Amino acid sequence: MVCTYCGGKTEVRNSRHQKRANQVWRRRHCLSCGATFSTHEQAAYDSVWRVRSKDDSLVPFHEQMLFVELYKACEHRSSALADATALTDTVINQLRKHATHGLLESHQIAITSYEVLARFDTAAAVYYQARHL
Ligand SMILES: [Zn+2]
């Protein structure tokens, strides 16, 4: 990966597997300008999971769509952005055990999201439930 500031070559100075989110965190150092920045490597779920909706159609799983729905549910919180980011990781982590051969049912995503929200913030869970369940 090239430097986000100058486009120069970078090297990895530190790396850690984040087990809960199934990501690899890396600290990179630019050999040209000396800047440092972090990267997170994770599976591209839109290439791994398919979602079957109520009308039986199959669409790729888009993590961003899940994030947006969780964000909307948390919008009343001042920490909505960070909350939705962490909640997205938690939901994806739990969906992994339901993704049989890469296939997820859309209602399973909704139920899992609702359950995760219900443990986190009642108002967010109620909002989500009204829209998705
Ligand atoms: Zn640089």
- pTM for this model (two decimals): 0.84
Q: What digits encode the pLDDT tens for the residues 5-43? A: 999 999 999 999 988 778 899 999 999 999 999 999 988
Centre of ligand 1 to C-alpha 109, Å, is 40
Domain ranges, ordered by start, for the chain: 10-41, 45-132
Gyration radius of the chain over CA positions: 18
Measure 38 CA to ligand 1 centroid, in angstroms.
Answer: 13
Q: Left if phi > 0, otherwise alpha if psi is -120 to 50, otherwise beta: which for 101?
A: left
Q: What are phi and psi of 114, to 5 degrees?
A: -60, -45
Q: Model confidence over 72-109: pLDDT tens digits?
A: 999 999 999 999 999 999 999 999 999 989 999 999 99
Task: Please give the distance, rounded to the nearest whole angstrom, from the Cα atom of residue 2 to the centre of ligand 1.
Answer: 8
Residue 65's pLDDT is what? 95
Identify whether the C-beta of residue 131 lies closer than 8 Å to the C-beta of residue 80.
Answer: no
Bridge partners of residue 76, in order along the sequence: none
Output the CA 37–ligand 1 centroid distance in Å: 10
How far is the centre of ligand 1, averaged over its atoms, from the C-alpha of 13 (Å)? 14
